[in-house]
Each structure stands twice: as structure tokens, then as C-alpha cells.
Structure 1
Amino acid sequence: MERVTIDVVSDVVCPWCYLGKARLELAIAEVQDELGVDVNWRPYQLDPDATSEGSDYRTHLVAKFGSAERLDQMQDNLRGQGQEIGITYRFEDIKVRANTLDAHRLLHWSRIEGQDIQDRVATALFKAHFEKGLNVADHQVLLAIAEQCGLDPALIGNLLATDADKDTVLSEIDAAQKMGVNGVPFLIFDGQYAVSGAQTPDVLANALRDIARMKAEARKGMI
């Protein structure tokens, strides 16, 4: 059975990234008997200028999208698409425009413990922001997520209190931007093939099958 690695460049305050994660999970479930998939979560910041304390979420987004009407239309669209796959967006509960650097540091540390742990942390961060309206820049929120996902909260707390791995996360974001990533989610398959946006499960499943087939054919050609 061939294995395909997907590096998912995303931000935990990106609603399309949350939708994309759920759709990717459906795609992986569809092909699980045909090929293996390894997923790594890579950092990106849509709003790197947000302060760690945060500012008003809706005010910022209205300014970003140009009008309250346009923002509401986009969020209603996301609510509808989310409901189809089990996501309940509660945009009205999100009060804080959060800086996500520390959330990405938590994802970085969780990857050291294994892809399953990192995936669990990614889900918990998305859910905390979009379904519970929590501030994902708040260290207490991050510590609760760490403990919930099987990480040592004391260790994570000590790391969060320092600048540990901030440069590492920022350099990964810089590398993604230099590759041409200017929007997320952005999926990189086996370091070679890219898919941008929250694609539907059938598109992702077919991409996985195509790449696995190409790998199998290339392997045969080497024999």
C-alpha cells in the first residue's frame, strides 16, 4: 500500500481551514483501504498584526471585507457548508481577534509527540475558536487544550512562558510565503503537488488516488 504525506498549511482562526480539515478527514476515510495518508499541520498567520490580548473580532472583519452585509453573507455560507459535515460555526460568540503564534507553537510541540496528537490539537484549536468562542491566544485556553489532547500541561506552560520555537514557527511561515502560499488552507502532497482551498472530499480523494498511482508506477519503473 502506497503512503502519501500531506503538509497542510493553515491558520486556526481561518474558517475555511476548519472546513478543509473536516473535508480532508472524509477524503482520507474514503481511501483508507487503498492507501495510507500522513498529515502534518504547518503554520500560517492570516492576521500576524493581531495582539496577544486581541481586539474586537467582528469590527476587524467588517473592515477587512468592506461591509457588515458582505461579512454576514460569507459567514452564512460557511455555516451552511459546515452544517453539512458536522461543524457548527458560532461566529457571534467570537469576541477576540486573536494572535495565533502561540497556538502554532503548541501545534509544533504536539507534532513532536506524533501526528495523531498534532491532529487532535488542531481539531481542538479550531473547535475552541469557532464553536466555543474562546481566545486561542490565551495561555490558559492553550493549556487546557494541551492537557485534553494528552500533552503535559506543566511542560507546555513552561514553554509558553518563553520565546521557545517562535523563530521556528515564523521561519516556517516565511518559507511557505516564499513558496507562493498567500492563502490558506494550502495542501502540499508529498512535497510536490499542491491543492489550494477547502476542496470537497471527492476532489481530495481523487488527488490522493492519483498521487498513489503515480508513485506505484514510478516504483515499478525502477524495478
Structure 2
Amino acid sequence: MQRITIDLVSDVVCPWCYLGKARLDLAIAEVQDAVSIDINWRPYRLNPDYPPEGVDQQVELAKKLGGKENMDRGHQQLTDLGREVGIAFDFDAIKIGPNTLDAHRLIHWAGTESREIQEAVVSALFKANFEEGRNVGDHAVLLEIAEAAGLESKVIKTLLAGDADKDLILDEIDAAQKMGVNGVPFFIIDQKYAVSGAQPSDVLANAFREIAAEKASEQSKLN
């Protein structure tokens, strides 16, 4: 079985990233008998200028999207697409637009434990923000998610209270932007192929099969 590694650049307040994750999960399930896929979650911030306490989400997003009508239209489209893959988007419930730096620190710390714990944290952050309207910039929310995923809450509380790994996260985002990542989700497959946007699951599954076949062909030439 061929193994593929995906570095997935995303932000937990990006609805297309949540949609992209759900579609990715379906694609992975589709090819699981032929291809093994490891995911490394990489940081990106859609709103780096938001203060630590966050902003009024409804007001700021309407400004960003050119008015409430445009925002509502976009939300309806995403709600319909989300329903197809089991996401119950509740955009009206999102009151605070958070600064996601601390959420990305938590994802990083989860990744130092295992990919499984990192996956659990990422899933919980997306769900908390988009389905439950919880503030994922709030340390209490982050601690609850960390503990539920199996992380040591006392350790995470201490880390969140300080500046641990802030520079590392910001440097990763800077490196991604210098590589040309200016929108998310962005998939970097085996450090060799790039796929941008929330692609349909069948498109991703076909890409994984083709990449796995190419790897198998390259390996057979070496033997």
C-alpha cells in the first residue's frame, strides 16, 4: 500500500476549510484499501488583525463581504454544501470572530502528541465554531477541547498563558504565504503537488489514486 502525506494549510474559522476537511475525509474513506494518507495540519490566519478578544462576527464579516445580503447568500450556499457532507453550519450562532493564533498553537501541540489527537482537536475546533457558535479564541473553550481530545489540561493552560510557539506559528504562516498560499484550504501532497480549494471528494480520491500509482511506478523502476 502506498503512503501519501498531506500538509493541509487551513484556518479553523474558514468555512471552506471545514467543507474541504469533510470532503477529504470522504475521499480518504474511498481510497483506504489502496492508499494510506497522513495529514499534517498547517496554520493560516484569515483575520490576523483581529484582537485577542475577537470582534463582532456578523458586523465585520458583512463589511468584508460587501454587505449583509452578500454574506447571507454565501452562507446559504455553504449551508447547502455542508448538508451534503454532514456539516450543520449555523452561521447565525457565531457571535464572536476570534483571533485564531491560540487555536493554531493548540493544533500544533496536539500534533506533537499524535496525528490522531491533532485530528480530534481540529475537528472539535471546526465544530465548535461553525456548528455550536463557540468562541475558539477563548482559552476556556480551547482547554475544554484539549481535554476532550486527551491532552493534559494543566499543561495546555500553562502554555496558553504564555507565548509558547507563537513565533513558530507565525513563521509557518509566513513561509506558506511566501510559497504562494494566499487562500485556504490548500493541500500540499508529498511536498510535490498542490491542490487549492475545497475540492469534491471524487476529485481528491482520483488525485490520490494517480499519485499512489505514480509512486508505485517510480519504486518499481528502482527495484
TM range (shorter): over 0.9
Q: How many residues align?
A: 223
TM normalised by structure 1 equals 0.99
Match of 2:102 in 1: 102
Matched, 1:33 2:33: yes
AA paired with 1:124? A
Match of 2:164 in 1: 164
Partners of 1:159 and 1:99 in 2: CA distance: 17
Partners of 2:133 and 2:62 in 1: CA distance: 18
What are the Cα deviations for residues 37-77 of structure 1, in whole angstroms up to 9, with x where unaligned?
00110000000001110110011111111111111110000
How far is 1:222 from its partner? 1.1
Partners of 2:20 and 2:53 in 1: CA distance: 27
How far is 1:93 from its partner? 0.5
Match of 1:115 in 2: 115
Match of 1:217 in 2: 217
How far is 1:101 from its partner? 0.2
Partners of 1:187 and 1:71 in 2: CA distance: 26
**Paired residues for 1:1-223 under 5 Å:** 1-223=1-223
Structure 2 runs not aligned, ≥5 long: none
The runs of 4+ residues in structure 1 deviating greater than 2 Å are none
TM normalised by structure 2 equals 0.99
Q: Secondary structure at the match of 1:103?
A: helix
How far is 1:97 from its partner? 1.2
Partners of 2:2 and 2:43 in 1: CA distance: 26
Partners of 2:90 and 2:153 in 1: CA distance: 27
Q: Secondary structure at the match of 2:73?
A: helix
Partners of 2:35 and 2:208 in 1: CA distance: 8
What are the Cα deviations for residues 175-216 of structure 1, in whole angstroms up to 9, with x where unaligned?
000000000000010011010000000000011011101110
How far is 1:85 from its partner? 0.9
Q: Secondary structure at the match of 1:187?
A: strand
Partners of 2:178 and 2:212 in 1: CA distance: 27
Partners of 1:97 and 1:80 in 2: CA distance: 22
